[in-house]
Amino acid sequence: MNILSTSNSTSPEKRFGFWDSLPLARKILLAFGVLFLLAVILAVVILSGLNRTTAAYEDALAQGIQVRRLSDQLTISVLQARRAEKNFILRWQGEGIYTAYENYVTLHPQDVASTRGPTYLQNIATMRELIKQLDTFGLVAGTVSTGGMTQAEYEADIALLTQNVDTYEKNFLNLVEAYQKKGFDDSSDFESQFRIAASNIDGGLFYGQVGLEQAKITFLRLRFSEKSYLSNSDPAYAVEVHTFVPLLRDLIVTNSELEPAAKTELIAQTDDYLTAFDSLVALDKEIAIHNEELIASARAMESLAAKIKILGDQLAADGVNTAKTNSAQTFTFSIIAVFIVLAVSVVLAITLSQQLTRPILSLTNTAREISGGKFDTQAQVNSADEVGTLAKTFNIMTARLGQAFAEVNRRAADLATVAEVGTATATILDTDKLLLEVVNLSKERFNLYHSHIYLLDEAGENLVLAAGAGEAGRQMKAMGLSIPLNREQSLVARAARERKGVTVNDVTKAADFLPNPLLPDTRSELAVPMIVGGKVIGVFDVQSDVVGRFTESDINIQITLAAQVSTSIQNVRSFEQSKAQADLESLVNAIGQKIQRTTTVDGTLQTAVREIGLALGASRVSANIGTSRQNASDEVSRN
């Protein structure tokens, strides 16, 4: 027979997403929370758009005004620096180079020069600070939509501004240094040097000397050209100086009135005069170069400041346009956001409705199929919420119902097998045939590895193998296999001693399992006692080659079968006893009839001895009667 087995194992647990694992209450709360969040987002979008529009207007004004303010301040600083520059150039000769430097150039606190305004170096420091602030608008400058200025161009202009400030400062300081070399505050400057030389020449020519009229005239013309050059720095007068100096030297050399030493002294003074004058001319050329570069760098700074001011105007215009664009975008985004919120609300409503109704409809359809007898139908578990939990519980209930019906069918099949065995053995009146039929049918119908029956001997001390299924059972019976009732290492003996079924579903782990070399594949064993009238008459033992084969239900089935077999054995034994008693009574009646037909005592004795010997199968029977010592004997041969 096929044994229906059930399994409690389940398929791997299905993993659900975040939404499917939430309870229904949280889903509803989350759905309304999403709607609330969308409403908040909508409000934030609208407010953010308004704020961006306001910020755009403010930024347009702030950035544009800031750039314009800084560029205007830069222009003012350039003009103030130029004013300090002019004041120094115009007044250094009158005030003195050091006093003028202190008043118009040096870097000192504002309050020191408050009556004259910031000094030159203070304006230079202010310009550098303004350029540093303007440099921060490089990224903004690249966003200007008009004017074609890129961030790189703006940064290049800032770098050029810085370069011009450095050039402006460098040339002015060089100019100050040149004026210091040119001035006449001490004997170290060029003007003082050639003035001293001129004074010495003047003393050598005009004091006590005669015959030097031509040299004196030439010297005076030389001084006139010098004064003219000093007044307007005209290079033509420098050329005249160079023309008169050689003439003066020749007149001194050719004059016969002068002593040689005086000549030598005057010529040396003339050379010193010319050297100092040439140095002054070269210094004036350097001053002219510095002055030109000074003017060029100042004009470049003014031009760049004006260009940056235009950028400020462009930034303001762009800011206004951006604000208008933001305003339009805010309105568009608000409309889009409203539609999105409405669409999401509809989707959430539909989704939530399906989350609630679809699983319930699925459970309803599954319940209908199960009510029609399809116990293998499983409800789909698509979430871990209350509906998913209900579906899981429903599936567990269905599985248990299926297992229960399977168990009922299996028990019914087992009981049918018991009935079949009982029916098959009901007509057998021989104990050995009965037991052999029981073990063979049990092995076949219950799909067992082996089945055999042990009967308790008359002494009640040993369980003797009475029948075994198959060739292994025949060999074991032929070996006269028996198990002492008190043996500890025997499931069969333990079942008889404890008068209850004993199950071992893994014989390799059972300490009292008694292995049999004729049954090497035994993996589980079930032994149940055979009891009749409260007395154990034997043990019904079945074995399987599958681990975990026997259940509590199998024990009950085998106990029922064992009880039925015990009753059949007892019935056969009773039948055999009744038959033996009837045969004995028939034999006694036959012997009595033969004895009654005899007429003598000897004949009676002879007949009785002969018939009893034949009935008992004895080879010799004798009888002694009373004191007369009459004897009767008979030899009986047996076939």
142-165 tens-digit pLDDT: 666 555 677 788 888 888 889 888
**pLDDT score, position 475:** 86
Q: For 88-93, what is the mean pLDDT? A: 81
**pLDDT score, position 463:** 87
Pick the range with the lowest mean pLDDT from 2-11, 26-35, 344-353, 599-608. 2-11
Task: Tell me which DSSP letter residue 597 carries.
Answer: T
Please report, in angstroms and rounded to a whole number, the separation of the first and last CA atoms in the chain. Answer: 48
- pLDDT confidence tier of residue 278, bands split at 50, 70 and 90: confident
Pick the range with the lowest mean pLDDT from 4-13, 130-139, 556-565, 592-601. 4-13
Phi-psi region of 146 (alpha: psi -120 to 50; beta: other; left: phi over 0): beta
638 pLDDT more than 50? no
The answer to whether 249 and 268 are in contact (CB under 8 A) is no
pLDDT tens column, 435-484: 888 888 888 888 888 888 988 888 888 888 888 888 888 888 888 888 89
327 pLDDT more than 50? yes
Specify which of 205-209, 273-277, 542-546 reaches the highest per-range mean pLDDT.
Answer: 542-546
Specify which of 1-10, 133-142, 357-366, 389-398 reaches the highest per-range mean pLDDT.
Answer: 133-142
- pLDDT confidence tier of residue 306, bands split at 50, 70 and 90: confident
**pLDDT score, position 8:** 41
Rounded to whole angstroms, the Cα distance separating 511 from 499 reads 20
pTM exceeds cut of 0.95: no
**pLDDT score, position 356:** 65
In CATH terms, 428-580 corresponds, of 3.40.50.800, 3.10.20.600, 3.30.450.40, 3.40.710.10, to 3.30.450.40
The answer to whether 352 and 28 are in contact (CB under 8 A) is yes
Pick the range with the lowest mean pLDDT from 45-59, 115-129, 545-559. 45-59
**Of residues 492 and 20, more confidently modeled:** 492
Cα dihedral sign, 214-215-219-222: positive
- pLDDT confidence tier of residue 5, bands split at 50, 70 and 90: very low
Alpha-helical segments (H) within 427-551: 431-445, 470-478, 491-498
Rounded to whole angstroms, the Cα distance separating 149 from 135 reads 14
**pLDDT score, position 411:** 59
Closest CA to 52 of 323, 317, 332, 335: 323
- pLDDT confidence tier of residue 413, bands split at 50, 70 and 90: low
**pLDDT score, position 370:** 73
> What is the average pLDDT value for the chain, to the nearest integer?
75
373 pLDDT more than 80? no
pLDDT tens column, 547-603: 888 888 778 877 887 777 777 776 766 666 666 676 666 777 777 777 777 777 677
123 pLDDT more than 60? yes
Tokens of 397: 């209930």
Cα angle value 155/161/165 (rounded, 5°): 150
Percent of the chain with pLDDT over 70: 71
**pLDDT score, position 397:** 72
Q: Give the list of residues 6+ apart from residue 140 with CB closer than 8 angstroms, or none.
A: 63, 315
277 pLDDT more than 60? yes
113 pLDDT more than 60? no
Q: For 386-409, what is the mean pLDDT? A: 65
For residue 536, list its beta bridge partners.
531
- pLDDT confidence tier of residue 352, bands split at 50, 70 and 90: low
The answer to whether 103 and 89 are in contact (CB under 8 A) is no
314 pLDDT more than 60? yes
**pLDDT score, position 188:** 58
Percent of the chain with pLDDT over 90: 0
pLDDT tens column, 515-528: 888 888 888 888 88
Strands 502-504 and 535-544: unpaired
The domain segmentation of the chain, as residue ranges, is 24-181, 190-315, 428-580, 598-635
622 pLDDT more than 60? yes
Helices (H) and strands (E) in the chain, counts: 15, 8
34 pLDDT more than 60? yes
Tokens of 378: 């499983």
**pLDDT score, position 285:** 84
**pLDDT score, position 7:** 38
Backbone angles phi, psi at 451, to 5 degrees: -150, 135
**Of residues 8 and 272, more confidently modeled:** 272
Rounded to whole angstroms, the Cα distance separating 625 from 606 reads 12
